[in-house]
Amino acid sequence: MKKGLIKTSSIMFIFLIWFIIYEVVNHPLLVPSISDVGQAMIELFSQQVNIISFASSFFRLFLSVAISGFFGVFLGVFAARFSDIETWIKPYVTILKTIPIISIIIILYIIFGYTYAPYIIVFLMVFPLFYQATYQGIKSIDQSYLDVFHLETDDLKSSVKHVYLPFIRDHIFLALYQSFGLGFKVLVTSEFITQTKTSIGNLLYQAKTNLRYDLVFSITIVMILITVAFELVLKYYKHKHNI
């Protein structure tokens, strides 16, 4: 109950700041009012093309996160098992963690165009999360437990199924939790820069070009609400299954 009141007051404080800035600037074109943004949000979902744009971006996001999750976990297991593989992959992970996102977007846009670039960009940004979560999760397993298991069998498939995955599922769940928010931001940014057709990024670009800042605000709020909703679903699933 107390946490709920604190969260509610925090959200109300944000709207208070918004209202104060709106009154100080006193220019609806620069800082739209809360009511104008509400009307823009209704307008946003009253047009089928906008709904399709949101759906298309979600498809890109979920597909990219799923592929990066598969390869991240797969390579993380092998890297934890074989040190040579970890040594070989480490420079690439370091590069992906340090290179500016804008640089990756521009380079991949030039090479692959706006159609495929967003998928690849999200994959490259999210992959390190799953890879490191898997690698560190396996490395944190008590070595004595692994030694006892390997006395019975040294089969990698059996090790993954009965030892690695049960112990690292919490790490993978955290990586999934983080990857959605990061992937969403990176995806929309790449769509905006590359002007990907039928996308949230393109909706933002068109709204900016037409000076529809009320629409920019409404799209941003919808993105925040979607991210929060997804995180709540993950928390519920984690609590239900005791992960």
Residue 141 has pLDDT above 70, yes or no: yes
Residue 226 has pLDDT above 80, yes or no: yes
Long-range contacts from 108-111, C-beta under 8 angstroms, 24+ separation: 109/190, 109/193, 109/194
Render pLDDT for 3-12 as a digit per residue (tens, 0 to 9): 768 878 888 8
Residue 83, classed as helix, strand or coil, is helix
d(CA 97, CA 91): 10
Residue 160 has pLDDT above 80, yes or no: no
Q: Which fold has domain 34-240?
A: MetI-like fold (1.10.3720)
Domain boundaries, the chain: 34-240
| Structural contact between residues 160 and 122, judged by C-beta atoms closer than 8 angstroms | no
With vertex at residue 184, the alpha carbon angle to CA 68 and CA 140, rounded to the nearest 5 degrees, is 45
In the prediction, which pLDDT does 174 show?
86
Question: Could you count the other beta carbons within 10 Å of the beta carbon of residue 67?
Answer: 16
Residue 230, classed as helix, strand or coil, is helix
Question: Could you count the other beta carbons within 10 Å of the beta carbon of residue 162?
Answer: 14
In the prediction, which pLDDT does 154 show?
61
Render pLDDT for 16-72 as a digit per residue (tens, 0 to 9): 898 888 888 887 778 888 888 889 999 888 889 999 999 999 999 999 999 999 999
In the prediction, which pLDDT does 161 show?
63
Residue 123 has pLDDT above 90, yes or no: yes
Q: Which amino acid is at 205?
A: Y
